[in-house]
Structure 1
Amino acid sequence: MQKQREMPYVAHVFVCTNDRGGEKKSCADNNSQLTKDKLKQAVDEKGWKGKVRISTSGCMGLCGNGSHVMIYPQKVWFSGVLPDDVDEIVSAIERILEDD
């Protein structure tokens, strides 16, 4: 039987890694897997495990503007993300944690 509970993380970060194999534009075209890996590394280095979760996401429906990163439940959305943008996303997570 399922149990409903409160989310255990302050922020849950979803990184779309959807890959359409070159048939259509997709988030994977912007190396979103590397973005996810760099975000996970930053969370580890900052000691945020247990507060911030980084997860892979399937298609978020806006592939033409990808890659996409969403921070939930704060409703923060980044589009056109490249691996070099990780520092900006980490800064946004840091502000969220400071406000918690």
Structure 2
Amino acid sequence: MLAFRHHVFVCTNRKPDDDGCCAARGSEQVLEKLRAEIKARNLQGEIHVTTCGSLGTCGHGPNLVIHPDGTWYSGVGVNDVAEIVEQHLIGGKVVERLAWLDTNLLRQTIADNRAKSLSRKQAQPAQ
């Protein structure tokens, strides 16, 4: 049995240079709006929202993942939140215009971003 019908992870990662990070793209405002929409619909007992670090789809944010179904959303703006709540969290239908529908592309994007991040770290002078 699931503790919640849905668990939403919202990336609020902030990078030192703000290069493509979700926080620089408005994820904290998306998070606030998401929590407000859930509260307004009295869904706090059914939908749990958690902040998280990088989901690996940097440059496409704000990003969020909805479990247990594992739907990944990118480019989510404040104006998209009510639609995600209504369509997906309540109605069970993926908001396709914001979702990663191609899982191979999603995996490749995450791998590319991870490689980019590692090469940046390796290029930094030792302290």
TM-score (norm: length of structure 1): 0.83
1:25 aligned onto 2:20: yes
1:95 aligned onto 2:86: no
Aligned pairs for 1:1-16 within 5 A: 6-16=1-11
2:61 is aligned, of 66, 70, 79, to 66
Which residue in the other structure is 2:80 paired with? 85
Could you say what secondary structure the match of 1:93 adopts? helix
Relative contact order (alpha carbons < 8 A, sep ≥ 6): 1 or 2 greater?
Answer: 1
Q: Distance in 2 between matches of 1:48 and 1:75?
A: 19
Q: Does structure 1 conserve the Cα–Cα contact (< 8 Å) formed by 2:7 and 2:67?
A: yes
Counterpart amino acid of residue 65 in structure 2 = M
Could you say what secondary structure the match of 1:63 adopts? coil
CA drift at 1:95: 1.2
Could you say what secondary structure the match of 1:74 adopts? coil
2:39 is aligned, of 39, 44, 52, to 44
Q: Distance in 2 between matches of 1:34 and 1:23?
A: 16
Q: Does structure 2 conserve the Cα–Cα contact (< 8 Å) formed by 1:13 and 1:69?
A: yes
Counterpart amino acid of residue 36 in structure 1 = L
Q: Does structure 1 conserve the Cα–Cα contact (< 8 Å) formed by 2:18 and 2:24?
A: no
RMSD: 1.3
**Greater share of residues in strand:** 1
After superposition, the C-alpha distances for 1:6-49 in whole angstroms (9 at most, x for unaligned) are 53000001110101133421011221011011111111110111
TM superposition outliers: structure 1 runs of 4+ over 3 Å: none
Q: Does structure 1 conserve the Cα–Cα contact (< 8 Å) formed by 2:12 and 2:22?
A: yes
Gaps of 5+ in 1: 1-5
Give % identity.
33
